[in-house]
Amino acid sequence: MSLIDLGMPLARMLDPETAHALSVRMLASGMLRPRTPPPDPRLATEVLGLRFKSPIGLAAGFDKNAEVPDAMLGFGFGFVEVGTITPKPQAGNPHPRMFRLRANRAVINRLGFNNQGLEAAAGRLAARRRDGGPVAANIGPNRDSADRIQDFELCAARIAPLADLLVLNISSPNTPGLRDLQGGDAVGNILRRTIAAARDSGAALPVLLKIAPDLDAGEVEAVVEAAVAAGAAGLVIGNTTVSRPDGLRGRHRGEQGGLSGPPLFGLSTRVLAQAAGIARGRLALVGVGGVSSGADAYVKIRAGADLVELYTALAYEGPGLVRRIHDELAALLDRDGFASVAAAKGAGL
Ligand SMILES: Cc1cc2nc3c(=O)[nH]c(=O)nc-3n(C[C@H](O)[C@H](O)[C@H](O)COP(=O)(O)O)c2cc1C
């Protein structure tokens, strides 16, 4: 489960979490050097007042501790989402907790917000030059927190001045009860208090909500309206799924946790399109779930995404994937006569 899976057959024999940790260490040490030329200028896009050299970003979970955002921007990603970051360091769930479903090019994980905590991530973000592209900080509560909304406030106050976007993760399936925050008054409360905490820190950055692909149509409508009412800038749609679509193969398919990769594509794209239909331009939308090609990214954009993210496909294909997606996406825009990503947005709705 790593960048080096492709180039180093040995990594495929390692436990996926070990392989991932190794690749982050190699990136952080400079042993793996990005060598991607800048993407086609037609892929450049402006969203929420920020400039992106490409709409393709790295999803949360790869760089949980903000160790390698600039290395990943160097591989050609238009932006990188670091985290999930919690106030206190946290070990996460017992091992093993990350499983490859090779036949489906999918992953099931139940990591449970393992991360080094807010101070470690903030220190690294503060040391950056901040010139390689936008970095989003994805924040969440500690598992044992007595006040989860306060955890979002604590993270926002510290990290908002150090990031370009803030993403509130209320959709990990691996922190018990977290997904309940998507319903009722909770969303509005979290957003209002977290946005205020960010503002009080002196940072006026866009705040987005990351939601589950498992919401039904009524829940999607409620969360979109609550997000708009509370002043959210956008939604990230979405996290891993607790559903188990048909066709999963291999001995790990019954593991508990969140499923990612191609089997999640249809579900997450449906929820994205639903949200786009309800939001009607009032929110920026980041489409994520099962993207592994330029054609997949194009479908997300046509379903209403301003930006697209991926993680699992990178683990199977290695960093050359970013370049391939850029080339394919530019060719598809050309084929259909779209001068920009923004022009294609929502064209399939
Ligand atoms: C190993 C792993 C760890 C993840 N950790 C996080 C996380 O900490 N926070 C988060 O918001 N999403 C996390 N995700 C979810 C991804 O950001 C993404 O939403 C999901 O995997 C769907 O995209 P994909 O199919 O391209 O992987 C994780 C995913 C994987 C596979």
Residue 172 is a catalytic residue:
yes
In a domain, 280, yes or no: yes
- pLDDT bin (cut points 50, 70, 90) of residue 29 is confident
Distance 61 CA to ligand 1 centre (A): 5
In angstroms, the CA 163 to CA 79 distance is 11
Confidence check: pLDDT of 36 > 50: yes
In a domain, 188, yes or no: yes
Q: Which of 260, 314, 321 to mutate to test the pocket of ligand 1 (most atoms within 8 A of CB)?
A: 260
**What's residue 6's pLDDT?**
43
Q: Rounded to the nearest 5 degrees, what angle is found at the Cα of 282, between the Cα atoms of 298 and 155?
A: 90
Give the binding-site residues of ligand 1, using a 6 Å CB cut-off.
59-61, 64, 83-84, 98, 107, 109, 111, 138, 169, 172, 210, 239-240, 260-261, 264, 288-291, 310-313
Closest to 80 (Cα-Cα) out of 303, 248, 263, 311: 311
In a domain, 14, yes or no: no
Confidence check: pLDDT of 10 > 60: no
- pLDDT bin (cut points 50, 70, 90) of residue 318 is confident
In angstroms, the CA 206 to CA 195 distance is 9
- pLDDT bin (cut points 50, 70, 90) of residue 1 is very low
In a domain, 250, yes or no: yes
**DSSP β-bridge partners for residue 107:** 100, 260
In a domain, 9, yes or no: no
**What's residue 7's pLDDT?**
46
**What's residue 38's pLDDT?**
85
Strands 50-52 and 45-47: antiparallel
In a domain, 127, yes or no: yes
- pLDDT bin (cut points 50, 70, 90) of residue 218 is very high
Model confidence pLDDT, tens digit, residues 75-107? 999 999 999 999 999 999 999 999 999 999 999
Give the number of domains in the chain.
1
In a domain, 24, yes or no: no
In angstroms, the CA 13 to CA 135 distance is 32
Range of the domain at 285: 40-344
Model confidence pLDDT, tens digit, residues 222-267? 999 999 999 999 999 999 999 999 999 999 999 999 999 999 999 9
- pLDDT bin (cut points 50, 70, 90) of residue 11 is low
**What's residue 5's pLDDT?**
44
In angstroms, the CA 240 to CA 255 distance is 14
Average pLDDT over residues 55-63: 97
Of 34-43, 154-163, 191-200, 267-276, the poorest mean pLDDT is in 34-43
In a domain, 349, yes or no: no
Point out the catalytic residue in the list 172, 260, 292, 293: 172
Dihedral-angle region of residue 23 (phi above 0 means left; psi in -120 to 50 means alpha; beta otherwise) = alpha
**DSSP β-bridge partners for residue 56:** 308
CATH number for 340: 3.20.20.70
Distance 178 CA to ligand 1 centre (A): 15
Question: Residue 323: phi, psi to the nearest 5?
Answer: -60, -45
Concatenating the DSSP letter of every residue in 152-164 gives: HHHHHHHHGGG-S
Closest to 273 (Cα-Cα) out of 235, 307, 302: 302
